[in-house]
Amino acid sequence: MNPRFIGYFAWYYGFFVIKRGPSYLVASLSLPLTLLFMVGILSHGNLISFALIGGLVSIIASNCINGAADAAFFRLQIKIQDLFVATKITPGDYMMGLIMSYLVFSIPGIVLYAILGLYWHVFTIGSVLPIILILIAVTISISNIAFIIAGSMKHIRNVWGITAVLSIVMTVLPPVFYPYTFLPKIALYVLSASPVTPAAVLLQGYVGLEQLNYTTNLMVLILFAETVILTILGRQFIKWRE
């Protein structure tokens, strides 16, 4: 691992993107905040806590999946991977740098939702550590889906349409902004193919919105397994030529 490179890379493609183009940050927050508003209105405030929890997952998931466009652009257009291959930078350093940049870019949204969650008394001190661990797992797993997409692309023009569709599918269909108990068991397990679903189920359980039960225990295993498998696949699709 090269912590110095990872730190610089994450800072440059995370913080400086916000600094140079704050409109990108506003765009990334527009869908979660719109859904938060709609859920609050349509449920008369009854599901606002679920929407706040869902917003945390949604912001990270959408930013990470949209990172496929950056990864594809780096590989296909400016060929930055070819540059790094000739250095001591490893595929793991490069991937971790990108993953951290997505996380840095998501920090303003995370802070905003944390403040809103505290205001509505959704978060507790005991739920902080599980929330952090779950969000880290979501960041790693969804980022590797982005690497898989970017590595599969033969032309940059295809990636934006794919990421736009996946961003909606991953943040609207799963039980992110509504209780997972609304879904039939079979539908919940089908949607668990996306790491967003087990993450949302676990968050709802750990903050006390739903009971911790067999389903939440199963989702721990599913999220862990998906994170490991997607990390292995992401490394294969990064297409690092030495």
Helix axes 159-172, 22-42, angle to 10 degrees: 30
Residue 11 lies in a domain: yes
CA distance 100 to 29: 18
Confidence category of residue 224, pLDDT binned at 50, 70, 90: very high
The predicted structure's pLDDT at residue 165: 86
What is the four-CA torsion angle of 113, 115, 119, 120, rounded to 10 degrees?
A: 20
Give the model confidence (pLDDT) of 133-189 as tens digits. Answer: 999 999 999 999 999 998 888 878 778 888 888 888 888 889 999 999 999 999 999
Structure tokens at 219: 């989702």
Residue 242 lies in a domain: no
In a domain, 27, yes or no: yes
C-alpha pair distances (Å), 105 with each of 62, 109, 139, 157, 166: 11, 8, 12, 23, 19
Question: Is residue 213 assigned to a domain?
Answer: yes
Is it the case that residue 62 has pLDDT exceeding 70? yes
And the tokens for 121?
Answer: 């008394």
User: What pLDDT, on a 0 to 100 scale, did the predictor assign at position 142?
Assistant: 95
pLDDT per position as a tens digit, 19-42: 777 887 888 888 888 888 989 898
In a domain, 182, yes or no: yes
User: For residue 202, which of 129, 153, 154, 130 has the smallest C-alpha distance?
Assistant: 130
Q: Are the C-beta atoms of 70 and 13 separated by less than 8 Å? A: yes
Could you tell me if residue 116 is inside a domain?
Answer: yes
Structure tokens at 73: 């652009």
pTM: 0.92
HSE at residue 104, side-chain half, CA atoms within 13 A, is 20
Q: Would 176 be classed as within a structural domain?
A: yes
121 located within any domain: yes
In the chain, the number of structural domains is 1
What letters, b where the CB count within 10 A reaches 16 and e where it falls short, cover 16-39?
Answer: ebeeeeeeebeebbebbbebbeeb
Beta carbons within 8 Å of 92's beta carbon, 6+ residues apart? 1, 235
For residue 181, give the DSSP letter.
G
Domain residues for the domain of 215 are 3-237
Question: Are residues 142 and 104 in contact, defined by beta-carbon separation less than 8 angstroms?
Answer: no
Tell me what pLDDT residue 57 has: 92
What's the confidence (pLDDT) of residue 22? 80
Q: How far apart are CA 140 and CA 151, in angstroms?
A: 16
Average predicted confidence (pLDDT) for the chain: 88
